[in-house]
Amino acid sequence: MKPIIGITPSFQEEKQQMSVHLAYCSAIVRAGGVPIILPYTGKEGVAEAFGLCHGLLLSGGEDIDPALFGEEPHPKLGGVSPTRDAFELALCRLALAYGLPVLGVCRGMQLLGVAGGGTMIQDIPAQTGNPVKHSQQAPRPYATHGIEVRTDSRLYEILGTERLRVNSFHHQAVDELGERFVSTACAADGIIEAIECPAHPFALGVQWHPEFMTETPAHLGLFEALVCAAAKGVENHASGFEQAD
């Protein structure tokens, strides 16, 4: 049985409509997993979604409501989705508490940070000095800025390199991190580009969009690492059934 990876979609509050870029699903398939899209059906759906999945992929999208990390909204804050925030945060907290493998992409990484008690930079150009351009206008798979990776990290084990070029589609960033998380990669302007929770089996976030770069082994490797971590859950599940017989 292949690991089931639950993907959280974007949510348009006005239209009450979910959407997810196919690239996330294709990346999971390519990495050997089975992608499913998790519906935002309210609080009662969180535990069921959690129980169904061997791993989670938190996708990119809307800004996170700053009230969730104790701040007032900056004028440059973009659209927020309370429905998505509430569901994803609850799901993420379960994953952190029970060791379910989770990969956060862009907003997904920021959400991991907030779930771990961290804060955010609400708008990079307005709130930091001399930033790199993080809202690229180049094609999605095209890498536009460099990052430096901490060598004592799981991220480094996956990527196999200290320096990497990445794409960039964010105006927000992780700021302070809670005590369980560490920053594992930075851009030249000091903006955090990756985080992970060393005490967790697999809780890792990247600020770029590797789902559009899976032609490059290092980027595909992130999804393979998630599926591999999720596969261990499938094995445990299977051996549990054997013991029950």
- Please give the residue ranges that form the binding site for Mn ion (CB under 5 A): 134, 168
Q: In whole angstroms, give the CA distance from residue 214 to residue 211.
A: 6
Give the nearer residue to Mn ion in terms of CB position, either 86 or 218: 218
Does the active-site annotation cover 134? Answer: no
Give the nearer residue to Mn ion in terms of CB position, either 12 or 128: 128
Least CB distance from residue 46 to Mn ion, whole Å?
A: 30
Give the nearer residue to Mn ion in terms of CB position, either 153 or 168: 168
Distance of CA 205 to the CA centre of its chain: 5
Least CB distance from residue 122 to Mn ion, whole Å?
A: 15
Least CB distance from residue 142 to Mn ion, whole Å?
A: 13
Q: Which of 53, 92, 106, 228 is catalytic?
A: 106
Q: HEC profile for the chain?
A: CCCEEEEECEEECCCCEEECCHHHHHHHHHCCCEEEECCCCCCHHHHHHHHHCCEEEECCCCECCHHHHCCCCCCCCCCECHHHHHHHHHHHHHHHHHCCCEEEECHHHHHHHHHCCCCEECCHHHHCCCCCCCECCCCCCCCCEEEEECCCCHHHHHHCCCEEEECCECCCEECCCCCCCEEEEECCCCCEEEEECCCCCCEEEECCCHHHCCCCHHHHHHHHHHHHHHHHHHHHHHHHHHHHC
Give the nearer residue to Mn ion in terms of CB position, either 121 or 229: 121
Does the active-site annotation cover 235? Answer: no
Give the nearer residue to Mn ion in terms of CB position, either 12 or 183: 183
Does the active-site annotation cover 74? Answer: no
Q: Which of 88, 196, 211, 224 is catalytic?
A: 211
Q: Which of 209, 219, 224, 228 is catalytic?
A: 209
Least CB distance from residue 93 to Mn ion, whole Å?
A: 26
Strand partners, 192: 186
Least CB distance from residue 108 to Mn ion, whole Å?
A: 14
Catalytic positions are 106, 209, 211
